[in-house]
C-alpha cells in the first residue's frame, strides 16, 4: 500500500496531477449546481411577484 | 380516384425532431431525466479507469510510475480539443439558424473547455518536470495549447462583456469559428515541428505504440472525461436556459411543481 502511494518516487507529480484534476472537475459540477438552485429561487421570486396578490404588499 | 394522405417524409420527420431538439422545455425535461444515467456511467468509467491506470497497469519501462499522469493528462488534452469542436459547431448553428439552444450550448462549452485545457497544461507541466527536467518549454504543442486556453477565456470574457445576450452569442460564435484554425495546429504540432513533447501513442493510423494493459484504462478514462463533459454541459446549459427564459410560463410551471 505504501508502495502504491510512493509511485516509484514520483508521488509528488502523480498525486498532485490527480488532485488538481479532481478539484477542477469538482468545481465544474458544484458551481453549476449552486447556480441552478439560485436560478430556481430567482424564478420563484419573479413568478410570485408577477402572479401573486399585489395588494398585500 | 383514390386520394391518399401523404406519409410524413424523411425531411418532415427531421424537421419535427429538429424543432423538438430546439425546444427549451423539451430540452430541460429530457436532460433532467438523462443526468442520473450519465452520473452512473461516469462513476463506472472513472472507478474502473482509475483502478486500471493506477493499480493494474504496469509501470513504464522508461518513465516508471510517472507515466501514470497520462491517465488524466491525455483525456483532458483530447477533451480540450473536442469541447472546442462542439463549441465551434454550436457557434455555426447559432449563426446560421439562429437557434437559441445552440447559443446556450456555445457559451456553456467555454468554461468546461477552459478547465480541460488548464488540466492538460498543468498535468503536462507536472509530467515534464521529472521527465524532461523542465516545467515548460515554448514548443509548438504547448504554445498552441496555451493559445487554446486564451481562446476559451476570450469567449468567456467577450460573452460577459456584451449586455445583449443574443448579440453576445453571435460575437462569441464568430470568435469560436475563427479560433478553429488552432485545433489542427495542436494536433499535428508534434509532427510538424521538432519538439520535446512525445509523438502520438494512440491516435495514429498504424497500431498504437502502447501496451494493451496501459491502453484500456486510458480509453476508460477518456470515456469518463467525455461523459463528465456531457454532465457539466447539460448542467450549465439548463442554467443558461433558466436565466434567459425566467419570465416564461414553463419556468413558472417548473417552480410550482418544485413547490408542490
Contact call for residues B90 and B16 (beta carbons, < 8 A) = no
Please report the pLDDT score of residue B23 as a whole number. Answer: 79
Q: B64 is written with which cell numbers?
A: 516508471
Region of B155 (left: φ > 0; alpha: ψ -120 to 50; beta: rest) is: alpha
CB distance from B250 to chain A under 8 Å? no
CB distance from A2 to chain B under 8 Å? no
Between CA B228 and CA B80 the distance in angstroms is 13
CB distance from B251 to chain A under 8 Å? yes
Per-residue pLDDT at B219 exceeds 70: yes
Please report the pLDDT score of residue B20 as a whole number. Answer: 60
Among A13-22, A44-53, B251-260, the range with the most confident prediction by mean pLDDT is A13-22
In this structure, how many other beta carbons lie within 10 angstroms of the beta carbon of residue B175? 19
Nearest alpha-carbon partner for B107 in B217, B240, B258, B232: B240
What band does A54 get if pLDDT is binned at 50, 70 and 90?
Answer: very low
Contact call for residues B59 and B65 (beta carbons, < 8 A) = yes
What band does B199 get if pLDDT is binned at 50, 70 and 90?
Answer: confident
Between CA A17 and CA B110 the distance in angstroms is 22
Which of A12, A18, A22 should we substitute to test contact with B (largest number of B Cβ atoms within 10 Å)? Answer: A18
Give tens-digit pLDDT for B152-196: 999 999 999 999 999 999 999 999 999 999 999 999 988 888 777
Neighboring chain B residues of A43 at a CB cutoff of 8 Å: 242, 246, 251-252, 254-255
CA angle B163, B164, B166 (to 5 degrees): 140
Region of B133 (left: φ > 0; alpha: ψ -120 to 50; beta: rest) is: left
User: Minimal Cα distance from B119: which residue of A?
Assistant: A21
Find where cell 514520483 sits: A10
Nearest alpha-carbon partner for B71 in B85, B90, B51: B51
CB distance from A42 to chain B under 8 Å? yes
Please report the pLDDT score of residue B7 as a whole number. Answer: 55
Give tens-digit pLDDT for B72-124: 999 999 999 999 999 999 999 999 999 999 999 999 999 999 999 999 999 99
CB distance from B123 to chain A under 8 Å? yes
Between CA B117 and CA B109 the distance in angstroms is 12
Q: Tell me the ipTM for this assembly.
A: 0.86
What band does A53 get if pLDDT is binned at 50, 70 and 90?
Answer: very low
Q: How far is CA B69 from the centre of its chain?
A: 20
Q: B103 is written with which cell numbers?
A: 447559443
Per-residue pLDDT at B200 exceeds 50: yes
CB distance from A28 to chain B under 8 Å? yes
Secondary structure of residue B59 in the 3-state scheme:
coil
Which of B246, B248, B249 should we substitute to test contact with A (largest number of A Cβ atoms within 10 Å)? Answer: B246
Which of A23, A34, A43, A46 should we substitute to test contact with B (largest number of B Cβ atoms within 10 Å)? Answer: A43
Neighboring chain B residues of A51 at a CB cutoff of 8 Å: 252
Between CA B124 and CA B49 the distance in angstroms is 19
CB distance from B62 to chain A under 8 Å? no
More confident residue, B61 or B238: B238
Least trusted range by pLDDT, from B40-44, B46-50, B196-200, B243-247? B196-200
Whole-Å CA distances, A27 to B80, B115, B152, B195: 17, 9, 17, 33
Residues 6+ apart with CB under 8 A from B71: B49, B50, B53, B54, B217, B218, B221
Between CA B104 and CA B154 the distance in angstroms is 16
Please report the pLDDT score of residue B24 as a whole number. Answer: 82
Nearest to A14 among B65, B246, B256 (CB): B65
Per-residue pLDDT at A47 exceeds 80: yes
Contact at CB, B247 and A20, closer than 8 angstroms: no
Whole-Å CA distances, B90 to B176, B197, B219: 9, 31, 26
Between CA B236 and CA A35 the distance in angstroms is 9
In the A/B pair of chains, how many CB contacts fall below 8 A? 95
Neighboring chain A residues of B130 at a CB cutoff of 8 Å: 10, 13
Q: Locate the domains of chain A by residue range.
A: 2-51
Q: Locate the domains of chain B by residue range.
A: 68-259
Which of B67, B118, B126 should we substitute to test contact with A (largest number of A Cβ atoms within 10 Å)? Answer: B126
Average pLDDT over residues B132-152: 93
More confident residue, A8 or A22: A22
What band does A55 get if pLDDT is binned at 50, 70 and 90?
Answer: very low
Give tens-digit pLDDT for A14-43: 999 999 999 999 999 999 999 999 999 999
Amino acid at each position: 500500500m505504501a508502495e502504491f502511494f510512493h509511485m516509484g518516487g514520483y508521488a509528488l507529480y502523480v498525486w498532485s496531477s490527480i488532485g488538481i484534476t479532481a478539484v477542477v472537475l469538482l468545481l465544474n459540477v458544484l458551481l453549476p449546481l449552486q447556480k441552478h438552485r439560485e436560478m430556481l429561487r430567482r424564478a420563484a421570486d419573479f413568478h410570485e411577484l408577477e402572479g401573486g396578490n399585489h395588494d398585500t404588499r | 380516384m383514390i386520394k391518399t394522405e401523404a406519409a410524413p417524409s424523411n425531411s418532415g420527420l427531421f424537421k419535427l425532431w429538429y424543432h423538438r431538439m430546439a425546444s427549451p422545455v423539451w430540452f430541460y425535461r429530457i436532460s433532467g431525466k438523462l443526468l442520473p444515467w450519465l452520473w452512473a456511467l461516469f462513476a463506472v468509467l472513472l472507478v474502473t479507469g482509475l483502478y486500471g491506470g493506477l493499480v493494474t497497469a504496469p509501470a513504464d519501462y522508461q518513465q516508471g510510475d510517472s507515466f501514470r499522469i497520462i491517465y488524466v493528462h491525455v483525456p483532458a488534452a483530447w477533451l480540450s480539443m473536442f469541447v472546442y469542436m462542439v463549441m465551434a459547431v454550436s457557434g455555426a448553428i447559432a449563426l446560421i439558424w439562429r437557434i437559441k439552444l445552440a447559443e446556450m450550448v456555445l457559451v456553456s462549452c467555454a468554461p468546461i473547455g477552459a478547465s480541460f485545457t488548464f488540466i492538460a497544461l498543468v498535468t503536462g507541466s507536472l509530467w515534464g518536470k521529472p521527465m524532461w527536467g523542465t516545467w515548460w518549454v515554448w514548443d509548438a504543442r504547448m504554445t498552441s495549447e496555451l493559445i487554446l486556453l486564451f481562446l476559451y477565456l476570450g469567449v468567456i470574457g467577450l460573452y460577459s462583456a456584451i449586455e445583449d445576450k443574443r448579440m453576445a452569442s453571435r460575437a462569441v460564435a464568430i470568435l469560436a469559428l475563427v479560433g478553429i484554425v488552432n485545433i489542427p495546429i495542436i494536433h499535428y504540432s508534434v509532427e510538424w515541428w521538432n519538439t520535446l513533447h512525445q509523438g502520438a501513442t494512440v491516435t495514429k493510423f498504424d497500431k498504437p505504440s502502447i501496451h494493451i494493459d496501459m491502453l484500456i484504462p486510458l480509453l476508460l478514462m477518456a470515456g469518463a472525461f467525455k461523459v463528465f463533459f456531457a454532465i457539466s454541459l447539460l448542467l450549465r446549459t439548463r442554467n443558461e436556459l433558466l436565466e434567459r427564459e425566467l419570465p416564461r410560463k414553463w419556468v413558472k410551471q417548473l417552480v410550482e411543481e418544485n413547490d408542490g
